[in-house]
Chains A and B, each alone.
Chain A
């Protein structure tokens, strides 16, 4: 059924009203952090990741490799968000994070403050405290299981402090999708490893990721194949990717 012009107009008006209600209390327009990649930014509501909001990232599959990709994706986003003398608070749950690897994605050691938390509740409390402080550029937390109410609190804290909240949701069991639980996050991402472009010589090229925007508020999900971050945290489209069919659509 083709929607009539009057109907779509009414729909637009309603959407605008909902947006106004949603952004009530947030001064001015919502600031966004674009990826700097046209094909991603065009798909995101607002043209980028909302700066004062909660975003969730999970590994595509259980296992350390996709987990590492999701971690580096977070680090890249935080690195692009972080000013030269800014600070990112990273609430750790495990001890296996290797800081020199983060520096590869543009997050040097003097921009990161680590908080080692034993339990998920501590991670959430530390994240909320950091978000409400308002002086940080981004707050990253590694959690396993988060109740819906906690994500709402974090979202409100992020809006209040104007700080970006990034949450790495880790796999608990093989078959339990970490993004299946309801959440108040504005965008929810899945990151997984993909085979990289073979080089003409021996060696290993820039990593590739399957980047899956599983859900976003006010926008459609989408799927990309991207190249991993460079030293400034910028992702890139692989060569010739514009001409390839979208794998998600091809599969459907």
Chain B
């Protein structure tokens, strides 16, 4: 700060530029480790924007060293190497063939810069939601977080950074953080600083940067080459030089970078903006408490929200009505719809079904209606308008109302599954989803789950239907029967089913009652079952 005041007025950085900035950045070589882990857990939905996964285990020592390779022109170069590989002398930039020759058993996989960038974007978005409203992606391997006015919320800069580091460790990344007054200094310290977590005191940037190599300044390659030729290695060497010759030798860009790092020139960051769910809000001069008033406010909110959604071409799938009570307690109700809709009457009716679950207490100060989940909704063709087919009725409103009454998971259609085992042949699908029919085999109307054991079965082995059996204490004499229908166990599910066989018989007793019985085992080979009999279903 004193340093800034010592500058002539036109060179002083703006107040905003003096705001503290921080940066979490993986160092170039450690970033390889990121990729390494990413490759292993990407399939587990590691999107940090949702929740950090627990799998933070550092690479097991037994695993072979890993490098990623990228094609540069005609050559295949190592793009990144894990710690183990670096310990063996591999480094980014060497030829892939050389790396393979040096380390037998090396694990080589292709670099995926696009996936890396997407992951970094997701991290930036998470940071923007979780830590600071201003977060941006820095280069290919870092993030800028603007800490102005947020560090105290997390217990100060140091504790906040430690917390971010812990988060990164949990998510499976090794990260380095530097806090400094300018993005340039934070960038340099994070990548070339002495410790994973370095805090640069206000105004201490020149001292902190002085021992760092010139590469930390984000200089261009030919400027770096010139500096090497001239014997300049540290940033301190550059700072000590007069500005005029510096610009002549290295170009304007170098000077700008130096000024940006030292806070003499502005460097605005371009923050990512998380998308926000469409919402409408009402604040009341007098708190409201009656259901009628809430319903009226709800209608007003709905009109506004539907208007916004219609302009954006969206429609609601999940709506939340949240209210702030006078005593600070939050109240909310949530509804879902089976299909995206902008029908305000229908949505209001769904909300109205739950309105009594709001406890207004001494009154509600404010009400918010938030479209938590939306989907695009455009005009649709009406089936059968020209061909003369009868249009099928729209069931979505009915489904929503029933789901509001008995719960969405209790409303379903049943669809076929490719399995011959009866209890596995049925699967629940969504109430408006497509379903598949079953093959035409005789099947009972009621299926017992689990099948019930029947006793005193008289049947001739191996494949004749039973003559009589006892079920639930009553004896049945079989008059007619059909079968067997043999169903084999599904060995791909459980090893116990590898040999299992069920022989199903459709039987009718003397009174006309029809049952579906099965015998475990084929009656010849003992391994297929123990020849016990079960009743699995009842025909009509």
Contact = CB atoms under 8 A, between A and B. Distances in A.
* Real binding pair: yes
A85 B391 CA distance: 9
B540 A207 contact: yes
Contact of B401 (A71, A129, A195, A207): A129
B25 to A, nearest CB: 53
A78 B338 CA distance: 25
A114 B358 CA distance: 30
Contacts of A203: 480-482
Contact of A115 (B406, B425, B435): B406
Given A109-B416, A110-B434, A196-B512, A207 B539 contact: yes
B508 A109 contact: no
Contacts of B446: 64, 67-68, 71, 96-98, 101
Nearest to B432: A113
Given A86-B392, A135-B394, A203-B480, A95 B449 contact: yes
A212 to B, nearest CB: 14
A87 B480 CA distance: 36
Contacts of A199: 480
A141 to B, nearest CB: 12
A100 B425 contact: yes
A72 interface: yes
Contacts of B414: 99, 109, 112, 114
A193 B511 CA distance: 7
Contact of B445 (A101, A115, A133): A101
Q: What interface size band does chain A fall in?
A: 35 or more
Interface in B513-540: 513-515, 537-540
Nearest to B471: A64
A207 B516 CA distance: 14
A19 B328 CA distance: 61
Contacts of B540: 65, 68-73, 101, 193, 207, 209, 228
B410 A98 contact: no
Contact of B413 (A63, A100, A109): A109
Interface string B370-396: 000000000000000000001011110
Nearest to B393: A135
Contact of A129 (B405, B434, B449, B511): B405
A52 interface: no
A129 B398 contact: yes
Contact of B390 (A83, A122, A196): A83
B392 A97 contact: no
A205 B480 contact: yes
Nearest to A75: B445
Contacts of A71: 445-446, 540
A204 B481 contact: yes
- Residue of B397, B413, B449 with highest tally of chain A CB at under 10 A: B413
A149 to B, nearest CB: 19
A114 B411 contact: yes
A193 B480 contact: no
B426 A115 contact: no
A208 interface: yes
A68 B398 contact: no
Given A96-B447, A133-B398, A204-B506, A68 B393 contact: no
Given A135-B395, A195-B508, A129 B443 contact: no
Interface string A92-123: 00011111111110001110111111000010
Contact of B513 (A65, A70, A109, A126): A65
A25 interface: no
A87 B440 CA distance: 21
A71 to B, nearest CB: 5
B246 interface: no
B513 A193 contact: yes
A108 B437 contact: yes
B139 interface: no
Interface in B409-462: 410-416, 422, 425-426, 431, 434-438, 440-449
A109 B435 contact: yes
Nearest to A72: B540
Contacts of A108: 437
B442 A98 contact: no
Contacts of B511: 193, 195
A199 B508 CA distance: 12
A110 B449 contact: no
- Residue of A65, A115, A117, A193 with highest tally of chain B CB at under 10 A: A65
Contacts of B508: 195-196, 204, 207
B140 interface: no
Interface string A132-143: 011110000000
- Residue of B395, B480, B513 with highest tally of chain A CB at under 10 A: B513
Nearest to A208: B512
Nearest to B391: A85
Contacts of B411: 113-116
A145 B50 CA distance: 48
A84 B513 CA distance: 32
B107 interface: no
A98 B444 CA distance: 7
The 10 closest A-B pairs by CB, nearest first: A135-B393, A72-B540, A65-B513, A98-B447, A193-B512, A101-B445, A100-B443, A99-B414, A116-B410, A69-B540
21 contacts: A65-B540, A71-B445, A71-B540, A85-B390, A85-B392, A96-B446, A96-B447, A98-B447, A100-B422, A101-B445, A104-B440, A109-B437, A110-B434, A112-B414, A116-B411, A116-B412, A193-B512, A195-B511, A198-B479, A198-B480, A204-B506
Given A98-B447, A109-B436, A110-B413, 18 more contacts: A66-B513, A68-B444, A71-B446, A72-B540, A83-B390, A96-B447, A98-B443, A98-B446, A101-B446, A104-B443, A113-B411, A129-B405, A136-B393, A199-B480, A202-B482, A203-B480, A205-B480, A208-B512
